[in-house]
A and B are shown apart, each in its own frame.
Chain A
Amino acid sequence: MQLARYIAGRLLLLLPVLFGTSVLIFLLLRLIPGDPAQVILGLRATPERLVIVRSELGLDLPIHQQYAQWLGKLLAGDLGKDFRSNEAVSELLRVRLPVTIELTLFALALAIVVAVPLGIRAAIRPGGLADRAAMLLGLLGISIPDFWLGIMLILLFSLGLRMFPSSGYVRLESDLVGNLRSFFLPALTLAVGLAAVLVRMTRAALLEVLERDFVKFLRAKGLRERLIIYQHVLRNASIPIVTVIGLQFGYLLGGAVIVEEVFSLPGVGRLIVSATLERNYPVVQAGMLVVALLFILVNLATDVLYGLLNPKIRGDGA
């Protein structure tokens, strides 16, 4: 019951945050030099044509009126139309959003599956083999840039070993295996940086919990060490781990832009990049707003998870 009220409260807070975000996106975009009308008409357009196109796009209005117009449509559920193709922006996003979401979730899953168990083993035996492997992953993962790793993976696994496709996208509905194959290398590229942060966090969080008094008491009770680690210590260490995963989700969304470009995946990141180059305001604005919303929702989910993990935060009983 308390949890439901908490979530409702947080969802209500979403409104001012989204409003602020929309203002920022709107203003920042207009600070970038360049004229959409010029981009559409080309360099040899006549001044008269430019004026006409600008007024068609609503760019001749004062900036606060432009914003009010956009916001009004937004509230009515209309994300606007692509300046160039005249397609509905909502349709563009509907097609591309699943690609980005699948990519980030896949990367998240890969990072968790590798980093969390490795971090646990590293903490149980500091200085052991797993600990050294964790250190190596932590160092390399942070140091290697996404775009370079992506290219190297393509060289090795696609062009060299021919195990995975180098680019392109297979829809989930049409071919599950093909879909997972097409996503594996991009997700791996994206996962490495997150895994590096996660393995260090898991190790440090576990080491901290292992020092606590209650672990001594659990041992004095005669519980098996496996039970102590995997039930008690891991659950206590999970709050910092979940925090890192939530925060790093933003990094994943940012990284997705580059990775989608390297692997030619038709996701939101690529859409925003190309739309920005074209000064395609409606597409960039809507795309960024959706990404911001995703990030906020993930953070909300993280906070709800805290409550589920820790009775003290949940405010249970008493």
Chain B
Amino acid sequence: MSLLSLRGLSTEFYSGGRWLEAVSDVSFDLRPGEILGLVGESGCGKSTIAYSVMQLLAHNARISRGQVLLGETDLLRLEEADLQALRGSRVSMIFQNPMTALDPLFTIGHQLVETLQAHLDINMHEARRRALSLLRQVGIPAAEERLRAYPHQFSGGMSQRIALAIAIACQPQVLIADEPTTALDVTIQAQILQLIRRLLVDERGSGVLLITHDLGVVAQVCDRVAVMYAGSIVECGEVAALFAAPQHPYTQALLNSLPSHRKARGRLETIAGRVPSLGDRPAGCPFAPRCPHTKERCENGRPPLIKVETGQEVACVLYD
């Protein structure tokens, strides 16, 4: 059983008088006790998937097809009031820039307590007690005093810990972490990732959808990874297998372009061409114009994900 399932999700944006598909036919499952990495370049639709799941898309965006299942519940069929009840309690989200994610005019304590009281039928005293325990769990020193502090009095790493405390306050089954460590320096990054693994996966058996453009982060904490290119998942599988034997030409090229101590010194590999803009994505395989193996068949629609011998699923005509 999976905690979160996307079934053929497509999301569009209205721009320049027409609807443009930013996410095309995306399906994946997030299982209990795993961290699933969603990796891709800027603009490939990673964050749009996150907002589609949370049902917090901008006014000019809409989900055109597909299903988002949280357990048994189809989120796309819920009323706003029911969604509010689920957000922050069954599915939570943390964001890229922790310094701007908290309301600057309210204390940390207030922002924790209001989250608890929005979802749980508890009194002020109990909410305060839990807020304190949450701050301790995420490793904020002198938690009792810090409840009365304001966001500007915390560093980026500490702010992300607080955001995490708020996100896990009501024991969600699913956490969506949208580039949670991109704005932080490397040592803090490792601490936050470890904290996410310990608090959500190890202690609660929840699932985490970790959105990132950083393959290092994926290798460090993810169990499985889905690689996105131009709105579609092109390859998906266990992290170790995928890094050891990438199958999709895009994944291969991506991993090839990483600096590595095993390779001889020299110029880094690059991928020829550039990512197609939202307005002119090709009708067939989105990677076809830049792919060294392009065939005529590549232009006949987006290839579906197919399970290959090495264990991962790949969307490429080479594996038909």
Contact = CB atoms under 8 A, between A and B. Distances in A.
A135 B54 CA distance: 33
B146 to A, nearest CB: 9
Between A222, A235, A311, A316, the greatest number of chain B beta carbons within 10 A of the residue's beta carbon is seen for: A222
B90 to A, nearest CB: 9
Contacts of B84: 222-225
B97 interface: yes
Chain B interface size, as a band, is 20 to 34
A310 interface: yes
Given A220-B56, A220-B88, A222-B119, A312 B150 contact: yes
Contact of A220 (B87, B106, B148, B152): B87
Interface in A198-223: 212-214, 216-223
A214 B100 contact: yes
Contacts of B87: 219-222
Interface in B53-96: 54, 56, 80, 84-89, 92-95
Interface residues of A, number: 24
Contacts of B85: 222
B118 interface: yes
Contacts of B167: 220-221
Interface in B136-187: 148-150, 152-153, 163, 166-167
Contact of B102 (A217, A309, A318): A217
A223 B86 CA distance: 10
Nearest to A232: B103
Contacts of B104: 214, 236, 310-312
Interface in A232-270: 232, 235-236
A62 interface: no
Contacts of B101: 213-214, 216-217
A220 B119 CA distance: 12
A236 B166 contact: no
A98 B11 CA distance: 62
Contacts of A20: none
B264 interface: no
A222 B112 CA distance: 12
B86 A317 contact: no
Contact of A312 (B54, B89, B152, B163): B152
Given A217-B101, A232-B103, A310-B105, A316 B150 contact: yes
B100 A212 contact: yes
Contacts of B103: 214, 218, 232, 236
Nearest to A312: B152
B223 interface: no
A27 to B, nearest CB: 45
Contact of A317 (B105, B106, B148): B148
Contact of B163 (A217, A232, A236, A309): A217
A212 B150 CA distance: 17
B95 A213 contact: yes
B232 to A, nearest CB: 25
Contact of B97 (A213, A219, A223): A213
A150 B260 CA distance: 79
Contacts of B166: 217, 221
Interface string B260-294: 00000000000000000000000000000000000
Given A224-B84, A310-B104, A219 B56 contact: yes
Interface string A285-316: 00000000000000000000000011110001
Given A222-B84, A310-B105, A216 B56 contact: yes
A235 B95 CA distance: 22
Contacts of B119: 222
Given A217-B163, A235-B105, A310-B104, A317 B149 contact: yes
Contacts of B54: 219-220
B115 interface: yes
A-B complex: 3 closest residue pairs judged by Cβ atoms: A222-B88, A222-B87, A221-B88
Interface of B: 54, 56, 80, 84-89, 92-95, 97, 100-106, 114-115, 118-119, 148-150, 152-153, 163, 166-167
15 contacts: A216-B56, A216-B95, A217-B101, A220-B54, A220-B87, A220-B88, A220-B92, A220-B93, A221-B118, A222-B84, A224-B118, A310-B104, A311-B104, A312-B152, A318-B149
Interface of A: 212-214, 216-225, 227, 232, 235-236, 309-312, 316-318
Given A222-B84, A222-B87, A227-B118, 7 more contacts: A213-B97, A214-B102, A217-B102, A222-B86, A236-B103, A236-B105, A311-B152
